[in-house]
Amino acid sequence: DGGITQSPKYLFRKEGQNVTLSCEQNLNHDAMYWYRQDPGQGLRLIYYSQIVNDFQKGDIAEGYSVSREKKESFPLTVTSAQKNPTAFYLCASSMLFYGYTFGSGTRLTVV
């Protein structure tokens, strides 16, 4: 079945560590996105990529980095520069001009 897979589902990070969240899709979608969601809040866009080897900052890109070396993959690295990384992270993909398909999310907690 086609879909979008995020891993891990839960992730714990020590302060000062970088962590990488995985996002893989087999939908042949061109565009991929990363969103952050805090409790009781809407989704905020971190980064997005419309084609391989190209990506743009969203509204809250500081402290995050991404790469898009393959069409299927769009990993997100939460760096130590992100001061408040505890959140629910959602990855999505879409064909241009169509609706999004979301993954099931990764819940990151700083311990």
Partner 1 sequence: DAKTTQPTSMDCAEGRAANLPCNHSTISGNEYVYWYRQIHSQGPQYIIHGLKNNETNEMASLIITEDRKSSTLILPHATLRDTAVYYCIVRAEGGTASKLTFGTGTRLQVTL
The 7-46 contact track toward partner 1, x by CB under 8 A, reads ------------------------x-x-x----xxxxxx-
- Centroid of chain to Cα 97: 20
Q: Rounded to whole angstroms, how far apart are CA atoms 91 and 1? A: 18
Query: Which positions ≥6 away from 37 have C-beta within 8 Å?
Result: 43, 44, 87, 88, 89, 90, 105
* Contact with partner 1 (CB under 8 A) among 13, 27, 52, 58: 58
| From 14-22, 66-74, 79-87, 103-111, span contacting partner 1 (CB under 8 A) | 103-111
- Where do we find the tokens 């990363």? 34
| From 12-20, 63-71, 72-80, 94-102, span contacting partner 1 (CB under 8 A) | 94-102
- Where do we find the tokens 């898009």? 68
Residue ranges that bind partner 1, judged by CB under 8 A: 31, 33, 35, 40-45, 48, 50, 58, 88, 90, 92, 94, 96-97, 99-105, 107
